[in-house]
């Protein structure tokens, strides 16, 4: 549903805008990967194999951004007031929360709207009241913004932070071993266990639901105030893995929607169960709930409990981006979560199989699609990762080097790719033997 259809939209959308939007929507066949690719403006002369990084937006998302942006430029006051503050049922952020909730199998008020994975993680760690002596347990495989959000919050609360490795060899990642290490590492003062769903430095995908079961077992013998809270940096599984996030058993789940969900840049969601939201103190004043502002006007404390919208940061946002996240969820749902998972596994499987056959290449990502997702990490004998990335670029392949202490070359195929993109990348690597 577009704001134009809703009856509550800005009035300034032109007939040409609507015609272009309708034509693109009519010609889109979500069952045909060529038609899916045709929804993107990606340069056709390149093999785009860094899909984990920053989304190119498909036609319906671009169109929605344009419609909202034009409306703001023509009448900023009414465009914002009519769609954000006037009447509850006209608030367009509610569409976004509803679309996110449907996608992840939860409820709209369990969703906060953020600008990135990073922002969501920071809102969790700074909003949780940690007591001195409590610890945050995490892994040595986390990316900088997750690690840093924990470190800053621990410093602020006087809590401690500990990291454990879940594997020595990522290629040989074992669920049993990782789960045993987590179980052994949880201590009576561990208040938070946190992990990334898919590690962007190795490509390993960890089994969130299995880890959640271990944590639930440990929590059975604990008081409510001491239970281990499970925080997930979900960004590289969200939009890749066909699982209901709300059923995985974690307490907090943060993911940008500007990567695999293909949404507008500078957008993300933070999901939590209702009882977990109630544990958070909002960090940034929200514009998505009336109570705190009413309380301010009436000179009294806000009456909780905290819910998702309370934690959605105000002040004014780039709303043309935030509101168009609904179109991104619509787009990926039209294609189908399972089909997207299978396609991404197929394309990245081709990359891994090709690399595994090359004697001068060390593959770091598990071959098993159940233990990996859309990221493939490897090294080429005799080359620094950045040199390989440069050679890829010179040959029309968009690749990256992992920005971790130990760096690897990284390829990441998405739903915009075809086997010819993979073959082009593999030919480049083969030439480096």
Ligand X SMILES: Cc1ncc(COP(=O)(O)O)c(C=O)c1O
Q: Footprint of ligand X on this chain (CB under 6 A)? A: 116-118, 143, 145-146, 196, 200, 233, 235-236, 256, 268
Residue 75: CB minimum distance to ligand X, A: 31
Residue 145: CB minimum distance to ligand X, A: 5
Whether the CB-CB separation of 127 and 282 falls below 8 Å is answered with: yes
Phi, psi of 331 (to 5 degrees): -65, -50
The nearer residue to ligand X, 72 or 193, going by C-beta atoms, is: 193
Whether the CB-CB separation of 194 and 146 falls below 8 Å is answered with: yes
Whether the CB-CB separation of 371 and 205 falls below 8 Å is answered with: yes
The nearer residue to ligand X, 91 or 153, going by C-beta atoms, is: 153
Dist CA 116 CA 234 (whole Å): 11
Residue 408: CB minimum distance to ligand X, A: 13
Pairs from 162-167 (Cβ < 8 Å, separation ≥ 24): 162/135, 162/136, 162/137, 162/138, 163/137, 163/138, 163/139, 164/137, 164/138, 164/139, 164/140, 165/139, 165/140, 165/141, 166/139, 166/140, 166/141, 166/204, 166/206, 167/141, 167/204
Question: Which DSSP letter does residue 8 get?
Answer: S
Residue 221: CB minimum distance to ligand X, A: 32
Strands 397-398 and 47-48: parallel
Residue 425: CB minimum distance to ligand X, A: 20
H or E segment to which residue 210 belongs: helix 208-219
Dist CA 186 CA 190 (whole Å): 6
Residue 151: CB minimum distance to ligand X, A: 15
The nearer residue to ligand X, 53 or 296, going by C-beta atoms, is: 53
The nearer residue to ligand X, 138 or 289, going by C-beta atoms, is: 138
Residue whose C-beta lies closest to ligand X? 256
The nearer residue to ligand X, 2 or 412, going by C-beta atoms, is: 412
Residue 257: CB minimum distance to ligand X, A: 8
Whether the CB-CB separation of 192 and 229 falls below 8 Å is answered with: yes
The nearer residue to ligand X, 265 or 390, going by C-beta atoms, is: 265
The nearer residue to ligand X, 326 or 373, going by C-beta atoms, is: 373
């Amino acid at each position: 549903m577009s704001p134009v259809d809703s009856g509550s939209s800005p009035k300034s959308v032109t007939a040409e805008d609507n015609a272009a939007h309708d034509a693109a929507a009519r010609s889109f066949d979500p069952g045909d990967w060529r038609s899916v690719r045709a929804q993107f403006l990606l340069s056709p002369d390149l093999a785009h194999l860094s899909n984990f990084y920053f989304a190119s937006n498909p036609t319906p998302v671009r169109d929605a951004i344009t419609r909202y942006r034009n409306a703001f430029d023509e009448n900023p006051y009414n465009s914002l007031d009519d769609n954000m503050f006037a009447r509850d049922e006209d608030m367009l952020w509610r569409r976004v929360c509803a679309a996110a909730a449907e996608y992840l199998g939860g409820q709209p008020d369990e969703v906060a709207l953020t600008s990135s994975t990073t922002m969501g993680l920071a809102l969790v760690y700074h909003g949780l009241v940690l007591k001195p002596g409590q610890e945050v347990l995490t892994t040595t495989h986390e990316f900088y913004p997750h690690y840093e959000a924990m470190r800053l919050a621990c410093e602020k609360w006087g809590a401690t932070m500990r990291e454990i490795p879940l594997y020595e060899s990522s290629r040989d990642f074992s669920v049993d071993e990782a789960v045993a290490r987590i179980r052994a590492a949880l201590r009576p003062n561990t208040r938070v266990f946190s992990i990334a769903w898919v590690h962007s430095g190795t490509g390993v995908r960890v089994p969130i639901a299995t880890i959640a079961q271990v944590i639930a077992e440990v929590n059975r013998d604990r008081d409510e105030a001491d239970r281990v809270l499970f925080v997930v940096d979900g960004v590289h599984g969200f939009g890749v893995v066909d699982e209901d996030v709300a059923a995985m058993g974690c307490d907090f789940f943060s993911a940008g929607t500007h990567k695999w969900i293909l949404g507008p840049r500078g957008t993300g969601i933070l999901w939590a169960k209702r009882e977990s939201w109630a544990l958070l103190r909002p960090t940034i004043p929200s514009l998505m709930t009336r109570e705190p502002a009413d309380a301010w006007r009436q000179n009294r404390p806000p009456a909780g409990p905290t819910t998702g919208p309370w934690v959605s940061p105000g002040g004014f946002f780039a709303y043309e981006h935030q509101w168009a996240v609904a179109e991104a969820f619509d787009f990926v749902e039209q294609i189908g979560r399972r089909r997207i998972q299978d396609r991404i596994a197929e394309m990245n499987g081709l990359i891994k199989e090709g690399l595994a056959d090359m004697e001068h290449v060390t593959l770091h990502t598990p071959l098993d699609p159940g233990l990996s997702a859309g990221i493939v990490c490897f090294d080429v004998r005799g080359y620094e990762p950045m040199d390989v990335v440069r050679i890829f670029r010179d040959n029309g392949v968009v690749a990256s080097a992992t920005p971790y202490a130990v760096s690897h070359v990284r390829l990441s195929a998405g739903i915009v790719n075809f086997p010819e993109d993979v073959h082009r990348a593999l030919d480049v690597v083969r030439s480096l033997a």
